[in-house]
C-alpha cells in the first residue's frame, strides 16, 4: 500500500483530515518502534511503504522502552500535535491499517510485545445496534 493510500485509510478510519492522518501515522509508528523489539520493528518496516519505514527504524531509538497505554497515547498526541481523544482514534486507525498491510502473522508477532490495552486498540470498535 502506497504512503498516500495509507494516510487516506487512516483519515477515513479516524475521521480526521489527511494532514492529521499523516501526523498520526508517523507519531504512532515512531512510538510503536520505541515500544517493540528491533526485530519486530524491522519486520513491520519490511511491509510498509518505503516512505514510512524510517518511522519504524529502531536505530533511531535507544533500546526497547517499556511504557503503558497512557504514555503511548501521550507520546502520539504530543508528536502529532493533537488532543488525547484524537490520538486514541488515530492510534486505533493506524494499527488497524497496519494490520491489513503487513498481514496477520507479522502484525500479531509485533502486537504480542505490547500490553493488552494497547493491543486492544488494533481491534475494530463494535458498532451499536
CATH number at residue 19: 1.10.490.110
The verdict on residue 23 lying in a domain is yes
- The CA–CA distances, whole Å, from 91 to 29, 84, 111, 123 equal 9, 10, 13, 11
The verdict on residue 103 lying in a domain is yes
The verdict on residue 127 lying in a domain is no
What DSSP designation does 113 have? T
- The CA–CA distances, whole Å, from 99 to 27, 59, 62, 107 equal 17, 23, 25, 6
The verdict on residue 19 lying in a domain is yes
The verdict on residue 68 lying in a domain is yes
For the chain, what is the domain count?
Answer: 1
The verdict on residue 129 lying in a domain is no
Domain region containing 100: 3-121
The verdict on residue 128 lying in a domain is no
Question: From CA 79, how far away is CA 113, in angstroms rounded?
Answer: 22
- Tens-digit pLDDT profile for residues 95-113: 999 999 999 999 999 999 9
- Tens-digit pLDDT profile for residues 38-76: 889 999 999 999 999 999 986 566 667 889 999 999 999
The verdict on residue 126 lying in a domain is no
Amino acid at each position: 500500500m502506497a504512503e498516500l493510500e495509507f494516510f487516506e485509510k487512516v483519515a477515513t478510519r479516524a475521521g480526521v483530515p489527511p494532514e492529521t492522518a499523516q501526523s498520526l501515522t508517523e507519531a504512532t509508528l515512531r512510538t510503536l518502534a520505541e515500544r517493540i523489539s528491533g526485530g519486530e520493528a524491522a519486520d513491520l518496516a519490511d511491509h510498509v511503504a518505503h516512505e514510512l519505514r524510517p518511522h519504524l527504524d529502531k536505530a533511531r531509538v535507544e533500546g526497547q522502552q517499556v511504557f503503558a497505554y497512557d504514555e503511548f497515547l501521550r507520546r502520539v498526541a504530543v508528536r502529532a500535535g493533537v488532543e488525547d481523544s484524537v490520538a486514541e482514534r488515530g492510534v486505533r486507525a493506524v494499527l488497524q491499517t497496519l494490520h491489513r498491510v503487513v498481514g496477520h502473522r507479522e502484525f500479531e508477532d509485533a502486537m504480542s510485545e505490547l500490553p493488552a490495552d494497547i493491543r486492544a486498540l488494533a481491534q475494530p470498535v463494535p458498532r451499536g445496534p
